[in-house]
Structure 1
Amino acid sequence: MNIGDKVRMVRAKEQGVVTRFLPGNQVEIEIEDGFRIPVLRSEIVVVSAMEAKRFQAEPTLEAQKSTKPEIIANAGIYLAFVPQTERNNAKDADLYLVNNTDWELPFTIGEERENRYIGLHSDVLKARSFHKLVQQYSLATFENWPTFLIQGLWHRRGASTLREPLIKRLKCRAQTFQSHIGLIPVVNQTGHVFQLDLEEPVQQETPKLKKNVEKPVDAAALRDSLLGLTDKKEPASLERPSSIIDLHITKLLPTGFGSRTNAELLEVQLQAFEKNLENAIASGMDDITFIHGVGNGVLRNELHRRLGKYPGVAYFEDAQKEKFGYGATKVKIK
């Protein structure tokens, strides 16, 4: 039993195609509905070519009415070496290319030796068939064999799924050559067999950890730092505001306020208020007065709302009414 073989259930009516072998003496088969299911090897038998023809020649009425899609074996291309004659106690091997799928495979096969390509053969490999090449290779020197390059296209008459071309290089090595002895599909002989269309697992690249590159220590700079000999930067001096800040927009934007909206003009006034209040607190002032005018009370109400949340403000009140009327607020700083 090989990948690509058509099989049927012993105790059921389902048929399918072997897609891969599983642990525990199980195989995975693809049934007519396109589902892949695991089954024990003892529960399935391989459908022989004669049996398949017999079923096709005498279809039942139920089968004629069935619209189920045809089961297609998509995998099963092999390169095989079959031992043949003995010459001076050294065996030679015949080279086979095997197609155990339901696709036709127009192919080329060649050798790569020291950056040179030597074409061996090209042909169309029919479904469930093999091609024996005329070349023979000595098993005693298999490690010196060239790299075999096989290229193929997948073809089926009628509507089918477009598949990527098959391009496979095979180099026989001592570590794996002897472990590939088995029954060759379609050829039905024992030899060294290698499947060419196995889906290779994608290896995810392990992210490289960035190494912390240590900068060389400047001994002189370290000594000066420990001894306090380095130049000390003077802290940035705070701008101590005036004790009376006029927030009228004509004072803040003496060159004109252009096309700014009322909301944008209010934001300019609030930014000036915040900046001067913070500088007054940081520079240790006792109090500061903001002239906001009377107007519609929008600016005054917003200032009072914000002052109520300032942790550095002790209290605030209307400034001298005789001097500012109701258009100014005095802020007492903690």
Structure 2
Amino acid sequence: MNIGDKVRMLRAKEQGIVTRFLPGNQVEIEIEDGFRIPVLRSEIVVVSPMEATRFKPEPTVDPKKPAKTEIIGNVGIYLAFVPTSERGGVREVEVLLVNNTDWELPFTIGEERETRYTGLLSQVLRARSFARLGQRYSLATFESWPTFLIQALWHRSGGTTLRPPLVKRIKCRAQTFQANSGTIPVVNQTGHVFQLDVEDTVEPAPAKPKAEKPINAAALRESLMGMTDKTLPTPVERPSAQVDLHIEKLLPNGFGERTSADLLQIQLQAFEKNLENAIASGMDDITFIHGVGNGVLRNELHRRLGKNPNVAYFEDAQKEKFGYGATKVKIK
């Protein structure tokens, strides 16, 4: 089971897409109405992409009921390195581009070496499939590997949401290369895998080094000695265990001429400030009340929480009281 897989619950009718792995042998799935819920792995099964064609029931259309929104796997583009058999005592890897989404992906991939670009492969990558570059790289010359440049478009037949092109550069480093070992989605082989369509998961190509300033030994020694009597730590305001992010609470005197984007930014700033203060003040957990609405604020909070290294996990909180309108954050 991988992020982006379509799954079905064993004890309910809901289907969804795997968006995140949680502690306690749980996964988070996004169901049809856009909500994300935690579910035990033992309570779901992966839906085969062949199921729709092999077990297609006769369509029954009720004009009084609106058609259900199709669940689309939107996340899961990977650059993967698979070890091959040794040739002449030299260990090598082959490079794969993996599409674990429901989109077709017209793409190009090439090498960048300083100012020179070399194209390696260009084709259309079908949904839930992968492509081999047909080129191998020796682990003995790892430090001289090029920067890989991947450019792709998102395509689905019929009416769909326009998505911006995918452009990623990845320069392999020894530490991150080993840390990203695991099972490669779709291919189901062990290798080194980098996800390209999630922010901050791919290490960018290194920038040209700037000239370093001379080190002031006295200033460095003073900084390593810790706080002096001249500087005192600023006290951190401990937030409430429940923070209401409804805009009416944050702007009790009215919205003025602020746009929807301005109001969302105010809510996100309140979220970031309270989360940072909760972490700094040593709180074990904090709950953010965001409401249901159209899901924009909730999804943005979950995206930021998923990237915060100080967050152990987060989940929908107190469904009896808030429904899916609140998120509880467990702090490390």
Name the TM-score, length of structure 1 as normaliser: 0.56
Q: Deviations over 1:9-63 (max 9, x none)?
A: 12212111112222333221111222221212222111123434334x2257589
* Residue aligning to 1:167: 167
Partner of 2:71: 71
Kindly state the Cα deviation for residue 80 of structure 1 after the two structures are TM-superposed: 0.6
Q: How many residues align?
A: 200
Q: CA deviation at 1:177?
A: 0.7
Q: State the match for 2:83 in structure 1.
A: 83
TM-score, length-normalised on structure 2? 0.56
> Structure 1 residue 161: deviation in Å?
0.9
Partner Cα separation in structure 1 for residue 62 and residue 82 of structure 2: 40
1:119 is paired with a residue whose SS is strand
Aligned to 1:27: 27
Paired residue for 1:135?
Answer: 135
The question of whether the paired residues in 2 share the 8 Å contact of 1:181 and 1:190 is answered with yes
In 1, Cα distance between equivalents of 2:9 and 2:58 = 18
Corresponding position of 1:36: 36
The equivalent of 1:98 in structure 2 is 98
Partner of 2:186 in structure 1?
Answer: 186
Say which SS state the counterpart of residue 84 (structure 2) adopts. strand
* Matching residue's letter, 2:5: D
2:57 partner letter: E
1:191 CA displacement:
1.0
Per mean C-alpha deviation after superposition, the further-off stretch among 156-165 and 70-79 is 156-165
Q: Distance in 1 between matches of 2:113 and 2:62?
A: 53
Question: Match of 2:194, SS?
Answer: strand
Give a deviation string over 1:231-287, Cα, whole Å, max 9, x none. Answer: xxxxxxxxxxxxxxxxxxxxxxxxxxxxxxxxxxxxxxxxxxxxxxxxxxxxxxxxx
2: CA distance between counterparts of 1:108 and 1:24? Answer: 39
What's the counterpart of residue 57 of structure 2? 58
Structure-2 change in CA distance of 1:62 and 1:28 (3 Å): farther
CA drift of 1:142 comes to 2.2
Partner in structure 2 of residue 9 of structure 1 = 9
The residue aligned with 1:296 is: none
SS of the residue corresponding to residue 155 of structure 1 reads: coil
Aligned to 1:150: 150
Provide closer, same or farther for how the CA distance between residues 90 and 38 of structure 1 changes in structure 2, counting only shifts above 3 A: same
Does structure 2 conserve the Cα–Cα contact (< 8 Å) formed by 1:33 and 1:68?
no
Higher relative contact order (CA closer than 8 Å, sequence separation 6+):
2
Q: For the structure 1 residues 59 and 140, does the alpha-carbon distance in structure 2 shift closer, same or farther, using more than 3 Å as the test?
A: farther
> AA paired with 1:58?
P
Q: CA deviation at 1:165?
A: 0.8
Partner residue, 1:295: none
Name the structure 2 match of 1:287.
Answer: none
Amino acid across the alignment from 1:82: V
- Equivalent residue number for residue 46 of structure 1: 46
Supply the distance in 2 between the matched residues of 1:63 and 1:140 (Cα, whole angstroms). 63
Distance 1:17 1:62 in 2: 25
Show structure 1 runs of 5+ residues with no match: 202-334
For residues 125 and 115 of structure 2, the distance between their equivalents in structure 1, rounded to whole angstroms, comes to: 27
Deviation at 1:66, TM superposition (A): 6.9
1:125 match: 125
Distance in 1 (CA, whole Å) between partners of 2:157 and 2:59 is: 25
Amino acid at match of 2:10: V
Structure 1 Cα separation of the partners of residues 62 and 183 of structure 2: 34
Amino-acid identity (%):
74
CA distance in 1, matches of 2:16, 2:27: 11
Q: Residue 199 and residue 23 in structure 1: after superposition, are their counterparts in 2 closer, same or farther (change >3 A)?
A: farther
